[in-house]
Structure 1
Amino acid sequence: MSSNLSQQTTDEPAKETTVAVESLGKTYESDRRTVEALSDVNFTVDEGEFVCIVGPSGCGKTTLFRVIAGLEEATVGQVTLDGEPVTGPGTDRGMVFQEYGLFPWRTVAENVAFGLEEQGVDGPTRAARVDEMLRLVGLDGFTDAYPKELSGGMKQRVGIARALAVDPELLLMDEPFGAVDAQTRDMLHEELLDIWAETDKTVLFVTHDVEEAVTLADRVVVMAANPGRVREIVSVDIDRPRERTDPVFAEYVERIRGLIGE
């Protein structure tokens, strides 16, 4: 494996940590058995960093996502966001899922405005923020459209705009492009990286697609299964935009796939 491939190092300048996952474990109890979904998971995500989580089926990626989102409680350990323990959902985390989750009876603008309404943001401020977010995702011409009138890629861009509208500290994305075709996915990768660069958001992105992870991430958290745990964290040191035909890109993909297959 090429020396171009690097892993987490300690000689880089210190950054502010946005997310810290500390000795995290998650166990599910049933009448018949106990299932250990996550065991001793540890990693951090720095402010403004783009981190992807990959791993084999059953490694607990989505469970980990849900704990960080505050949708489930950890059995042991904790997640902190800007040093504060995560105890439930909050507007400091914007979430985007594979299922678009748009309200079919609301227009694009009304969907994007939903979180702002829940926060009690006044009408003029809300409208300005919605306009800003729709321009950011390239949908400013679709303000009054309904979800049924949009393609899959456009629906996901509405989802991203809605998540960003409340100005979260962390953007959490759980396989958000898994339901779109390959061409649309490539386009959304470019758009997401542009949005990330413009907003300086911290992004934690769960995917089963290793090439997607290498395309997007500063670092890739590679998980192992039974129970779910961190196998290795790989830093992706390739300038953006990244080309899948680049031999170094292929080396990263091979390396991470090898870790998943071990």
Structure 2
Amino acid sequence: MADVDAKVVVDAVSKRFEGRQTVQALDDVSFDVADGEFVCIVGPSGCGKTTLFRIIAGLETATAGAVHVDGDRVTGPSTDRGMVFQEYGLFPWRTVRGNVRFGLEQEDVTAAERDERVEEMLDLVGLRDAADQYPKELSGGMKQRVGIARALAVDPDVLLMDEPFASVDAQTRANLHTELLRIWRETAKTVLFVTHDVEEAVTLADRVVVLQPSPGRLKEVVPVDLDRPRDRTTSAFREYESRIRSLIGD
């Protein structure tokens, strides 16, 4: 039974895609996320990770069940959920500052408040010196930090991230992990982070939601009881990684 006092409640969510062939992508998935918690969602290809992400984001509608944020049912996208995607989604004709400002342009705030918020976000992600550059001038890691700043600019309660670091090299990914955890601590946001990388999940998460495929079902929720920053070379870290891999393998 999901905790009704949780920040995010995924309650018996199922998703079926109708077409030439009916595909049951998710079946009766339930879990909750506490306020300020960092939760990773992992599982093999075909387990419905991205479908579940899109339902939580309000970009897809569940066939059955529901998602609630702060007790309110999710019926579509909202500024209470900021989204960061793997493919960046930056506007190439806008500078870094212009991209971060985009969401705020839809909000009822003064120009001065908007400008102040943009500068705060640029400082938060360490991109003030690149504020006037365009996406084509940025590295993959810098683009993803712009995406994070843009998502946080409207001050959402929940940050949703769909494999955001999958397309960057290992060293950049490690740096982004450090940056993301710092930003998470400073902002106290609730984070749901979809990844196919078990090591990444153990590095980041308070708990790891493990899905199994065909159709996507909840296998287990694994609490990660390790102090941060986490050393990937320790036996304790490797034990968590091995346990989650075995759950996915089963």
TM-score computed with the length of structure 1 as normaliser: 0.93
* Contact residue 4 and residue 71 of structure 2 kept, 8 A: no
Taking the aligned partners of 2:94 and 2:45, their CA distance within structure 1 comes to 35
**Are 1:22 and 2:7 matched, yes or no?**
no
Q: 1:226 aligns with which of 214, 217, 224?
A: 214
Size of the alignment, in residue pairs?
248
**Are 1:106 and 2:120 matched, yes or no?**
no
The sequence identity of aligned pairs, in percent, is 69
Taking the aligned partners of 2:239 and 2:46, their CA distance within structure 1 comes to 25
Taking the aligned partners of 1:214 and 1:128, their CA distance within structure 2 comes to 35
Q: 1:38 aligns with which of 16, 26, 32?
A: 26
Structure 2 partner of 1:10: none
Structure 2 partner of 1:8: none
Taking the aligned partners of 2:22 and 2:172, their CA distance within structure 1 comes to 41
* Contact residue 84 and residue 148 of structure 2 kept, 8 A: yes
What SS does the aligned partner of 1:241 have?
A: coil
CA apart distance, 1:15: 10
Q: Structure 1 stretches of 5 or more lacking a match?
A: 1-13
User: CA-to-partner distance for each residue in 1:79-116, whole Å, 9 max, x for gaps?
Assistant: 00000000000100000000011000001001000000
Taking the aligned partners of 1:166 and 1:229, their CA distance within structure 2 comes to 33
Taking the aligned partners of 1:246 and 1:193, their CA distance within structure 2 comes to 19
Question: Which residues in structure 2 correspond to 1:171-186 (within 5 Å)?
Answer: 171-186=159-174
CA apart distance, 1:183: 0.2
CA apart distance, 1:120: 3.5
Taking the aligned partners of 2:9 and 2:171, their CA distance within structure 1 comes to 34
What SS does the aligned partner of 1:59 have?
A: coil
Where do 4+ consecutive residues of structure 1 move more than 3 Å?
none
User: CA-to-partner distance for each residue in 1:126-153, whole Å, 9 max, x for gaps?
Assistant: 1100000000000111111111111000
**Are 1:115 and 2:96 matched, yes or no?**
no
Distance 1:186 1:15, change over 3 A: farther
Structure 2 partner of 1:235: 223
Taking the aligned partners of 2:82 and 2:66, their CA distance within structure 1 comes to 19
AA aligned opposite 1:249: F
Distance 1:39 1:15, change over 3 A: closer
* Contact residue 82 and residue 159 of structure 2 kept, 8 A: yes
Q: 2:130 aligns with which of 122, 130, 142?
A: 142
AA aligned opposite 2:215: P
Q: Structure 2 stretches of 5 or more lacking a match?
A: none
Taking the aligned partners of 2:19 and 2:184, their CA distance within structure 1 comes to 41
TM-score computed with the length of structure 2 as normaliser: 0.98
Structure 1 partner of 2:194: 206
Taking the aligned partners of 2:70 and 2:59, their CA distance within structure 1 comes to 18
* Contact residue 16 and residue 47 of structure 1 kept, 8 A: no
CA apart distance, 1:34: 1.4
* Contact residue 15 and residue 46 of structure 1 kept, 8 A: no
Taking the aligned partners of 2:214 and 2:86, their CA distance within structure 1 comes to 24
Taking the aligned partners of 1:206 and 1:16, their CA distance within structure 2 comes to 23
Structure 2 partner of 1:189: 177
